[in-house]
Structure 1
Amino acid sequence: MVTSLPLSLLAPVYSFVSSHRLSLAAFPFSATAALRLTAWLYPTVSSAIHHCTPLYAGLILLAVVLVLYIRSTRVRAVYLVDYACFRPPAALRVPLSKYIEHTGLAPCFDDKSVGFQSRLIERSGFGEETCLPPACHVIPPEKTLKAARAEAEQGIFSAVDAVLAKTGVGAEDIGVVVVNCTLFAPTPSMADMVVRRYGLRSDVRCFSLSGMGCSAGIAGIGLAENILQCDSRCTYALVVSTEILTSDYYSGNERAMLLQNCLFRMGASAVLLSTSRARARHAQYRLARVVRTHAGHDDRAYGCVQQEDDAAGERGIALSKDVMPVAGDTLKAHMTTLGPLVLPASELLAYALSLARRRLLLMAGQKDSSKPRVPDFRMAFEHFCIHAGGRAVIDALQRGLGLSDKQVEPSRMALHRFGNTSSSSTWYELAYLEAKCRVRKGDRVWMVGFGSGFKCNSAVWVCIRSPVPLDSGPWEGCMHRYPVAAVQRD
């Protein structure tokens, strides 16, 4: 009885043949040409090959198949071709005094809410140039779908226009589009907006990520990396990160929900990734790895950042007091996964010995009075791009990781100049490092962000070509004023 092969075995064979059909079809012709050339150059060798032609042909075919198989299974490196950040026009800037004045004039806030927001904004670490969308400059704010779309188009299209102009990549070359925005999820999606605006090809793969918080930008990088490595037809991926503030401005008086009005500001980034070896010669960074940690199985972690309606029916994002403890616990779990992948062997050994010592003392009934050893991630990275979620977030990470003021300077300065731009903030920080000419070939950059759910995501980049910025990007015109010493000391 004849039994058919299962589809699970035929699928890889079909995929291999279809991916290399041109090479396999050309094999008989190239092999014949090689044999004819050998016969003409070396008649004696040709006579020996003539008597064993099937054997040699089989060996050559086997060698070709093995080479093609190894190339197809090898993980392709993903490179950062270039990126761009949206710099809002000066007309949209919101000095602290203006924000406090508008809050006091808004009829939706009572005196306690006005006082709370005033104190919060004064301690936020913001400068006088952070920006809000046009709809938030009127009283009361214009929370319409039309205004939200206009904000999205202004930020996203400006960033994408800039990155395409810098790289010279045509819209027809982009095979993957990932757009992430936590609160605004219109129909058609924001990824569809990009496809329509730039006339991308019909087989482009589009993804719109929503509800994932400030770590969604790194999640988008990981998604694009997986697609580029799995599908050889996709050479370029465009990853856009932004947050739309217009439609979700909170007009109530719950303190836990007022934080979003004070902390978030306009911003957007567009990142172009590629697996093209030709592009690798001009790329600035290679993506070493993306690591993601999700703590959603814990009720406290899941509910510490929640979109909900208050008692009056006003919708907003509620940030509980558990946010910072949850972020610390999630970061510890994340570092447990990330550490073995990036730390040198000497640091891993020292940490393992410290952990073994504490366990032996515990088994012996003795108490170890010394502080637990924290792995020194400064040995793994030269630069740190910590999500500029607020002064408290940056302060906690600086203490926990033992970082210097200079190492957290990009995060503090991005918070001061642009505010919390959500998932795009780490790219403003990388632009700061490049504008200061601090990144050199061989340096490793750690991007880390936190998001609702609760998540902690990391992207590790290796600089393969020292950046030579032609301008300061989003920091153009203000780079000479930074770092701001007063903010750095706080």
Structure 2
Amino acid sequence: MPTKLLSLGTAVPAARLDQSRARDFFAAQPEVNRLTARLIGAAFDQSAIEHRYSVIGQIGSGGTLFSEDGELLQAPSTGARNAVYRREAPPLTEAAAQDALERSGFDASEVTHVVTASCTGFFAPGPDYLLVRHLGLPNTAERTHIGFMGCAAAFPALRTAKAIADSRPGAVVLVVCTELCSLHIRSSSDPEQIVASAVFGDGAGAAIVSSADPKPGRPWFEMGDFSTAITSEGEQDMDWTIGDSGFEMRLTAEVPRIIGREIAGVVESMLDGADPLREVDAWAVHPGGRSVLDRVQGGVDLPDEAMEHSRAVLRDFGNMSSATILFILRRILADPALADGARVAGLCFGPGLTVETARLTLRTGGGREPERA
């Protein structure tokens, strides 16, 4: 039996950040001069994001974490930020996992393996361990954590789950990607940090992967090939390191340009030279930002409708690092316009620059997932 991605679950924090309100908050910081204020305005206004979600609360309101008065953004230590991760990541992870389990029709007691991914915080025993404890998974469930691979980590996590299911018939693998990007925001005049503050949000995405038969009436993805490509340049243009006041993202303006130059070659290799317009019915492209989506669309010559799901997730959630692509696949699974057998191509981008790809085939199973906000 082919290995299947049986269901997708998602979860976000309660606080929704309005993009214009967040823009005004960052622009009003006392060290911001006119030039920096213009850079902030451009980054936020051109992001194609309407709102995001955050564990630190409503930016610009009193009582927000890292801003006691709602006006001045503090600069907590990395330890203080990670303490929030330790408190907030587990419940978000568990909510997404529970959603995926309920949609799959499998019980927590049937899970045999757990694969987690995150790059925005660390502790041990971590969220993978707590999933076993809190969701009632068997204490014999084998756990794997994929750490610090950045925005592209969901596909290595799904690839790992597929390898497990391929080799162990009947295995039920729970995959969860949880990212609390907002923990690492800071006030800065650095254009790269400004862009990071403008696009990143928090969320968790989960999946159930198995070679077991799907429950009747539920749509699922038949999992195909995965691949990895490293671009010819970009190691100094997208990286993620640990600083004294949070994790520090470098995301230069070269990133979209490099992706635009090289994405056609990556897609050609992924599709074995086939025409992407004829070979693919739906695209799941990680929205590193609006310009990244623009470059992918232009580089592969895709129509506007091919980018609809990716742009919608960017608009409503921002860039949630590794969790984001699972939100996009969730939308595709629920898309009534796609028929049984629809071919899906996925693209994720991570530090390096690394491009991770995946090919999936939609199986409607005689039913459709309900739309999700």
- Out of 63, 79, 96, the position equivalent to 2:4 is 79
For 2:240, the aligned partner's letter is Q
How far apart, CA to CA, are the structure 2 residues paired with 1:205 and 1:107?
A: 50
How far apart, CA to CA, are the structure 1 residues paired with 2:215 and 2:300?
A: 35
Question: What's the C-alpha RMSD, in Å, of the aligned pairs?
Answer: 2.7
In the TM superposition, residue 309 of structure 1 has moved relative to its aligned partner by 7.3
Q: Closer, same or farther in 2 for the Cα pair 1:106/1:126, shift >3 Å?
A: same
- Out of 9, 18, 25, the position equivalent to 1:95 is 18
After the TM superposition, which of the residue ranges 394-403 and 185-194 deviates more from structure 2? Answer: 185-194
For 2:44, the aligned partner's letter is I
In the TM superposition, residue 221 of structure 1 has moved relative to its aligned partner by 0.6
- Out of 324, 330, 342, the position equivalent to 1:443 is 342
Q: Closer, same or farther in 2 for the Cα pair 1:156/1:432, shift >3 Å?
A: same
- Equivalent position of 2:252 in the other structure: 320
For 2:6, the aligned partner's letter is V
Q: Closer, same or farther in 2 for the Cα pair 1:186/1:259, shift >3 Å?
A: farther
Deviations 1:349-395 (A, max 9, x none): xxxxxxxxxxxxxxxxxxxxxxxxxxx30111111111122111111
- Out of 284, 305, 315, the position equivalent to 1:406 is 305
- Equivalent position of 1:307 in the other structure: 240
1:55-454 aligned at under 5 Å gives the runs 76-89=1-14, 92-107=15-30, 109-127=32-50, 129-135=51-57, 137=59, 138=64, 139=67, 140=73, 143-232=80-169, 235-277=171-213, 279=215, 282=218, 284-295=220-231, 300-308=233-241, 315-340=247-272, 343=274, 376-454=275-353
How far apart, CA to CA, are the structure 1 residues paired with 2:290 and 2:82?
A: 32
Contact map agreement 1:148 1:246 (CA 8 A) in 2: no
How far apart, CA to CA, are the structure 1 residues paired with 2:53 and 2:357?
A: 27
How far apart, CA to CA, are the structure 2 residues paired with 1:87 and 1:314?
A: 21
After the TM superposition, which of the residue ranges 441-450 and 106-115 deviates more from structure 2? Answer: 106-115
1:25-40 aligned at under 5 Å gives the runs none
In the TM superposition, residue 202 of structure 1 has moved relative to its aligned partner by 3.0
How far apart, CA to CA, are the structure 2 residues paired with 1:317 and 1:249?
A: 10
Deviations 1:131-152 (A, max 9, x none): 2222573223565333223331
Please, which runs of 5 or more residues in structure 2 have no aligned partner?
68-72
Contact map agreement 2:6 2:104 (CA 8 A) in 1: yes
Q: Closer, same or farther in 2 for the Cα pair 1:427/1:314, shift >3 Å?
A: closer
The structure with the larger Rg is 1
Please state whether the residue corresponding to 1:392 is helix, strand or coil. helix
How far apart, CA to CA, are the structure 2 residues paired with 1:187 and 1:260?
A: 27
Contact map agreement 2:284 2:347 (CA 8 A) in 1: yes
How far apart, CA to CA, are the structure 1 residues paired with 2:217 and 2:236?
A: 45
How far apart, CA to CA, are the structure 2 residues paired with 1:96 and 1:466?
A: 38
In the TM superposition, residue 245 of structure 1 has moved relative to its aligned partner by 1.9
How far apart, CA to CA, are the structure 2 residues paired with 1:88 and 1:313?
A: 23
Give the structure with the larger helix fraction.
1
The number of aligned residues is 358
Contact map agreement 1:293 1:457 (CA 8 A) in 2: yes
Q: Which portions of structure 1, spanning 4 or more consecutive aligned residues, are displaced by more than 6 angstroms?
A: none
For 2:2, the aligned partner's letter is A
Please state whether the residue corresponding to 2:54 is helix, strand or coil. coil
Give the structure with the larger strand fraction.
2
How far apart, CA to CA, are the structure 2 residues paired with 1:247 and 1:221?
A: 26
Contact map agreement 2:20 2:44 (CA 8 A) in 1: no
Q: State the TM-score, normalizing by the size of structure 2.
A: 0.86
How far apart, CA to CA, are the structure 1 residues paired with 2:288 and 2:304?
A: 17
How far apart, CA to CA, are the structure 2 residues paired with 1:434 and 1:251?
A: 38
Please state whether the residue corresponding to 1:277 is helix, strand or coil. coil
After the TM superposition, which of the residue ranges 281-290 and 453-462 deviates more from structure 2? Answer: 281-290
Q: State the TM-score, normalizing by the size of structure 1.
A: 0.67
How far apart, CA to CA, are the structure 1 residues paired with 2:262 and 2:119?
A: 20
In the TM superposition, residue 225 of structure 1 has moved relative to its aligned partner by 0.7
